[in-house]
Amino acid sequence: MDKLKALELQKTATIIRKYVIEEVFSAKSGHPGGSLSCTDIFTTLYFDEMNVDVKNPKWADRDRFVLSKGHCAPALYATLAVKGFFPEADLYTFRKVDSYLEGHPNMTYVPGVDMSTGSLGQGISTAVGMALAGKIDNKDYRVYSILGDGELEEGQVWEAAMAAAHYKLDNLTAFIDYNGLQIDGNITDVMNPEPIADKFIAFGWNVIVVDGHNHAQIKDAIEAAKTVKGKPTMVVCRCIKGKDVSFMENQYGWHGTAPNQEQRDQAIAELDEKLAAIEAEIAKEA
């Protein structure tokens, strides 16, 4: 990935992170930690990979995406809005009673959302169904999904993992947001899902481990997955929960807590500072 492209993706990711803070702040509820954590996966997928049409969200041959950890809807909505599926201004209606931006994604009324999720463990199975349909119909589209590392404690994830390998769904690439935290604390303290990579290898998946905040590494993993035949790919992304907001980083307490006015201001100021630095670098490169 050339430097300018990498900087552009960092810029987009920072804009998305700002929206995550604004959504959760205006709703006075929601999940900032895991949303900030998986933002770079979203950015790489929607701004450097996925074949989608914002004018025709239900286009039959599009690549599909399922947010298996549906609580990170703020990151999905911000990504879709910045991509152009719906107005960015609508992000401020998140979780309000007349808004279409439900707390967890609803495919029947949010343009660009391919599956309704929120109950952990189910999204990955639906992605398996979409990938299976692609095989049945001999379509070229690819299916992507993001899971949480805590979500791996759901038995259904392993049923889905078995089925994806059994049906040789090499058109499916999933990502684990490996931030080490869930609601009640460290994943290893709550219910240890380790060793994660080894488990997926044992289940018959191709596994790639990357830095989940490095767009080039994520992109390379996506490309590598396309060359693997007969196996689904799991990209294990080492991530920082609450990434780029200093006081939220690595704090499980920010899993599902909204910032107050002061905290929101500080978060936005930090992200603005980061944005300015990226823009300065872009100016230098261009």
Partner 1 sequence: MGKVATREAYGAALAQYGADTNIIVLDADLSKSTKTDTFRKVFPERHFNMGIAEANMMSVAAGLATTGKVVFASTFAMFASERACEQIRNSICYPKLNVKIGATHAGLTVGEDGASHQCVEDLAVMRALPNMVVLSPCDEVETNLAIKAAIDHDGPVYIRLGRLAVEAVHDAETFKFELGKGVQIKEGNDLTIVATGLMVQESLKAAELLAAKGINARVIDMHTIKPIDKDILAKASKETGFIVTVEEHNVTGGLGGAVCEAICDTAPCKVLRIGVEEKYGKSGTPAALLEKYGLTAQAICDKITAAYKGE
Ligand X SMILES: Cc1ncc(C[n+]2csc(CCOP(=O)(O)OP(=O)(O)O)c2C)c(N)n1
Q: Which spans of this chain sit near partner 1 (rule: CB under 8 A)?
A: 60, 64, 66, 106-108, 114-116, 118-119, 121-123, 125-134, 136-137, 155-156, 159-160, 162-163, 166-167
Mark residues 93-132: x for contact with ligand X by CB under 6 A, - for none: -------------------------xxxx-----------
Residue 259 touches which of ligand X, partner 1, Mg ion, none (Cβ within 5-8 Å per kind): none
Nearer to ligand X, 51 or 186 (CB): 186
Residue-wise DSSP of 204-260:
T-EEEEEETT-HHHHHHHHHHHHH--SS-EEEEEE--TTTT-TTTTT-GGGSS----
Residue 179 binding Mg ion, by CB under 5 A: yes
Rounded distance between C-alpha atoms, residue 42 and residue 48, angstroms: 10
Site residues (CB under 6 A) for ligand X, limited to 35-54: 37
Binding of residue 44 to Mg ion (CB under 5 A): no
Query: Of ligand X, Mg ion, partner 1, none, which one sits near residue 159, judging by CB under 5 to 8 A according to partner kind?
Result: partner 1
Q: Is 190 in the site for ligand X (CB under 6 A)?
A: no
Cis check for the bond before 195: say yes or no (omega within 30 of 0): yes
Q: Name residues whose C-beta falls within 8 Å of residue 247's C-beta, 6 or more positions apart in sequence.
A: 263, 266, 267
- Minimum CB–partner distance for residue 124 and ligand X (Å): 11
